[in-house]
Amino acid sequence: YYSDSFLVRDSIKLLLSRISYQDNYYSLLDDACEVLENSGHFSEADIILSAKNDEYDAFLDYGDSTVIKNLADEITDGLYSDYDKAKAIEAYFVNNDFVYDPDFRKKKGDNAETFLISSQTGVCYEFATAMVLLSRASGIPARFAEGYNMSELGPDGKYLISSNDAHGFPELYIASIGWIS
């Protein structure tokens, strides 16, 4: 585990800007192919096809939305590292006056495109979903996660958790670091 503050160090940013997910992914895949092929269990073609279809593509699917793809390209234009792209996507919501409204109720037919292009208002679900889809469209593996914000301690030293603490958030895979929120 690395805290988010670890990633803002200049030396780490420089390192991340020089590493791509695809390079590490395929290097790891090549090593796995060699081990499995030498054991006589699988052919390299079977392994590569399976890995590409089942793992990599699953984290890069964004529903083939041209709206999301075009917006992701616009946000990340000129950026090369996954980390810089992720930070630009995150900043997009702040810089464009998106509103977090705890009383928000989605209308029938609303989706991530509606949130990104017109309403720009939502709760954690809308923000997390939009960031996951924009990240995937930018080539960054991403997933939607849910959990609880545990911040309030009771008198016995145990966390007090209620339904108000439930939260959805994006997790992105940054090469050489792993999954970060």
**pLDDT tens digits, one per residue of 15-49:** 666 655 555 555 666 666 666 667 766 665 465 55
Which residues, in sequence order, are CB contacts of 94 under 8 Å at separation 6+? none
| Residue 178 three-state SS | strand
pTM of the model: 0.66
- pLDDT digit string, tens, across residues 121-144: 999 999 999 999 999 999 898 998
Residue 87: name the closest of 176, 3, 8, 169 by CA. 8
| Residue 149 three-state SS | coil
